[in-house]
Amino acid sequence: MQPNPTTDQALSALARLLAPYLIAHLPAYVPPPVGYTPPDPDEQLNTQEAAKLMTYKETTLVAWRREGKGPKFSRPGGRVVRYRRGDLVKWMEEQRGGGAK
C-alpha cells in the first residue's frame, strides 16, 4: 500500500488534537508487565552497581562517603562498602522532592 500524503496529514492533525485529551485522561498508573518481579529493596549493591543505578560516577559516591553526604551505606566486612537498594531509591526520591512521608 502506497503512503497517502493527505491521509498522513489528516492522521497527524488528529493526533495533535487528541494528544492533550489522552494525556489528561490516561491513568497515571500503568500496571507492570505480566511476570514482572520488582527488585528486592534489601538487595546489597557495591559502589559500582549503586553508581549505575543512580546514574552517578563511582567517584561521586566515594566523595560523598568521605564528606558524610549521600545515601546510607554500610561496611559489612571492614573495607567493603554496600548500599541497600531501598535506601538508594529512598534517597533519590528525597533529592527530587518526592520522598515518602
Q: State pLDDT tens for residues 47-74.
A: 999 999 999 999 999 999 999 999 999 9
Q: What is the pTM of this model?
A: 0.63
2 within a domain of the structure (yes/no): no
Identify the pLDDT of residue 13: 86
Domain with 84, as residue range(s), is 44-95
Number of domains in the chain: 1
21 within a domain of the structure (yes/no): no
15 within a domain of the structure (yes/no): no
54 within a domain of the structure (yes/no): yes
12 within a domain of the structure (yes/no): no
Exposed, middle or buried: residue 45 (CB in 10 Å: 0-12, 13-18, 19+)?
buried
Question: Mean of the per-residue pLDDT values for the chain?
Answer: 87
* Length of the chain in terms of residues written: 101
14 within a domain of the structure (yes/no): no
**Neighbouring residues of 100: CB distance < 8 A, sequence distance ≥ 6:** 90, 93
26 within a domain of the structure (yes/no): no
**Neighbouring residues of 22: CB distance < 8 A, sequence distance ≥ 6:** none
34 within a domain of the structure (yes/no): no
The more confidently predicted of residues 26 and 37 is: 37
